[in-house]
Amino acid sequence: FGHVGYLLTNIARTFWLGLSHGRLSKAPGKGDVRRYFQSLNWMSAAFALCADLSLMTLGGALKRKERLSARLGDLLSELYIASASLKRFHDDGSPQQDLPLLRWAMEDSLHRIHLALRGLFRNLPLRPLGWLMKLLVFPAGQPFHTPSDRLDREVADLLLRPGEARDRLTRHVYLSDDPDNPVGLLEQALAAAIDAQPLERTLREARKA
């Protein structure tokens, strides 16, 4: 009875969060960060609901249907990655310069969660159950998309230019300035390419003129 009560509560919670795309859940932060927390609350509830319904209807057969259990595993992995991204951003002091990196990581994970859920719904042996899950999880449509090209460019600019954002990403990564070291050679090449950009721009303008 306790488990049934939990399941019914989770059905209601997932449906209401789905109607508002997660906006009805409490979350810390503000702006984009708050929305990501809310989306993660929604997808966490959806994962718990889908895992419960799958186990209740398939039982031990879920283990033998490896692609279905793998999709649930993908869901859990992406929830973990998204949670870790938010925690890292918070632990670093929520620097605004790192916001494009957080946005890219969250949008990529949420889109992958959406794909795993869609694959789960489509491939459940009990087709009505798949339709029911889809209705409960996404009653107001599916809002997640891949990161935009514009966001890709913002992230690339951060990664390819020395600065605090790049230093935070690489603070536990081996780096070297030694030109005899392959990593050091790449770092020197990056610095040289950045120094050459104004000269390249001048040459391009001169060629046009």
User: What are the pLDDT digits (tens) for 72-127?
Assistant: 999 999 999 999 999 999 999 999 999 999 999 999 999 999 999 999 999 888 88
Can you give the pLDDT at residue 179?
Answer: 85
CA distance 186 to 181: 9
At 4, is the pLDDT very low, low, confident or very high (cuts 50, 70, 90)?
confident
Task: Single out the residue of 139, 192, 122, 178 nearest to residue 24, CA to CA.
Answer: 139
pTM of the model: 0.84
Q: Distance between CA 194 and CA 178 in Å, rounded?
A: 18
